[in-house]
Amino acid sequence: MKLTFSAEDEAFRAEIAGWLRKNLVGEFAALRFRGGPGDEHMFPAERKRWEQKLAEGGWTGIGWPRADGGRGCSIEQQVIFHEEYARAGAPGRVGHIGEGLAGPTLIAFGSEAQKLKYLPGILAGTELWCQGYSEPGAGSDLANVKTRARPDPVGGGWLINGQKVWTSLAHEADWCFVLARTEPDSQGHKGLGFFLVSMHQPGVVVRPIEQLTGTSEFNEVFFDDAVAADIVGEPGDGWKVAMALLGFERGVSTLGQQMQFQNELDEIIRIAKSNGAAVDPVIRQRIAEAHTGLRLMRYNAMRMLSGSDSGHDQASSLVYKLHWASWHRNLGVLAMDVLGPEAEIIESAPYNLTRLQSLFLFTRSDTIYGGTNQIQRNIIAERGLGMPKEPKGKLS
Ligand SMILES: Cc1cc2nc3c(=O)[nH]c(=O)nc-3n(C[C@H](O)[C@H](O)[C@H](O)COP(=O)(O)OP(=O)(O)OC[C@H]3O[C@@H](n4cnc5c(N)ncnc54)[C@H](O)[C@@H]3O)c2cc1C
């Protein structure tokens, strides 16, 4: 694993830092430190314009291959990009599901025609995506998906019927990738398809779900004979595509998240120093532990991404989700303890939370989305440690 950066990498650092200094101004200055977890609903239109600004500067899809319109940056450069992006307080990426999940999946599994059709909109920041996996009966047990896809007798493609839930940013998205059953009587991993569905059609209804934070970042999505514009891979092969996408979810995109974590920890340290909480030995210890946990997270991510952990790559990446989710949830609790009694006071009616209050409430979901901690432990046991599979069926 490389932990130092070459002169060329440092020049790249200067380039992105300089670009951000020059461009994160004017209408975009108000977006600084906005749009992170618990704040994803804020300034969608302005953040979409920011995506387009990034695209103009050549800062979208930087890790994508050049042949697919990306910049082909090395892992080190991608790390640097995310570091400088967070250091500048640049806003949460409203295009991250397209850039981090849909794009890499299309690059790996899409036809040439599909790449030509979808990748440019993702890179330009003009088309936003959402992820249609979870359903009321299929979260941890994703293979229990019930949404159906049936051949369209008129258009010749596929029609989608069913319900998805917890679909982040569906209310802003132009496209959704949907996991649906192409064979009506199929079960489990078999008979699924990975579909690309436009959100702008009469067969799609999006209902926001109000969260603990009082805001709505995710939604219920209903498909009623919605037309799928494309299927990626063959009908019946959807599970393979869907699982590969989850691998990208653990990839470089998580680096950006870490830098966001650093900003949050910095804010907590600043408050602890100013309100006297830093004098408390237990708080000091917890802050030091948070700092250490964050460094460990960074090195583990770099090891995982650089592939230098050969033979153990999979185990490192499996541990990673469990580590960051628990770390971040604990950070939310630490933030409240550093604030003290002030943590329980809402600034103004009806529900105007401060950044740290919102952080605390939102981090309750970190150990749920992207796979719960319990499921992640099962996966570590089975795939990482080679232990016997979890017994299925009722425990008596
Ligand atoms: C903020 C947020 C954003 C999200 N965004 C999206 C999105 O954009 N798109 C999308 O498709 N989904 C999204 N999700 C859904 C997320 O992927 C699911 O919530 C998650 O997979 C858990 O599924 P579930 O909610 O159905 O819980 P369940 O699967 O019903 O689990 C309930 C509880 O039982 C435990 N459990 C279940 N099975 C086992 C087992 N075998 N062993 C031990 N314990 C078990 C779980 O760990 C959990 O504690 C989001 C969720 C959140 C919170």
Q: What is the pLDDT of residues 89-143, one digit of tens each?
A: 999 899 999 999 999 999 999 999 999 999 999 999 999 999 999 999 999 999 9
Tokens 């237990």 belong to which residue?
282
Quote the mean pLDDT of the chain: 90
294/379 same-domain check: yes
Position 303 in a domain: yes
Please name the residue whose Cα sits nearest to atom 43 of ligand 1.
374
pLDDT digits (tens, 9 = 90+) for 38-62: 788 889 999 999 999 999 999 999 9
The DSSP bridge pattern shows strands 219-236 and 192-198 to be: antiparallel
Which of 71, 93, 115 represents a domain boundary (last residue)?
93
Q: Which residues contact 343 (CB under 8 A, 6 or more apart)?
A: 335, 336, 337, 356, 357, 360
Q: Which atom of ligand 1 is nearest to 211's Cα?
A: 1
- Number of domains composing the chain: 3
255/352 same-domain check: yes
Q: Is it the case that residue 277 has pLDDT exceeding 80? A: yes
Q: Which atom of ligand 1 is nearest to 169's Cα?
A: 8
CA distances to 50, 59, 386 from 90, rounded to whole Å, are 9, 12, 41
Pocket residue to mutate for ligand 1, from 192, 368, 377, most atoms within 8 A of Cβ: 368
> Residue 259: which pLDDT band, with cuts at 50, 70 and 90?
confident
Per-residue model confidence (pLDDT) at position 352: 83
Segment (H or E) for 162 = strand 158-164
78/177 same-domain check: no
Q: Which residues contact 187 (CB under 8 A, 6 or more apart)?
A: 143
- Domain of residue 229 covers 129-235
Please name the residue whose Cα sits nearest to atom 41 of ligand 1.
375
Active-site residue, selected from the candidate residues 15, 249, 267, 342:
249
The DSSP bridge pattern shows strands 129-132 and 175-181 to be: parallel
pLDDT digits (tens, 9 = 90+) for 363-380: 999 999 888 999 999 989
Position 112 in a domain: no
* Rounded (5°) CA angle 382-384-390: 10
Position 98 in a domain: no
pTM for the whole thing? 0.92
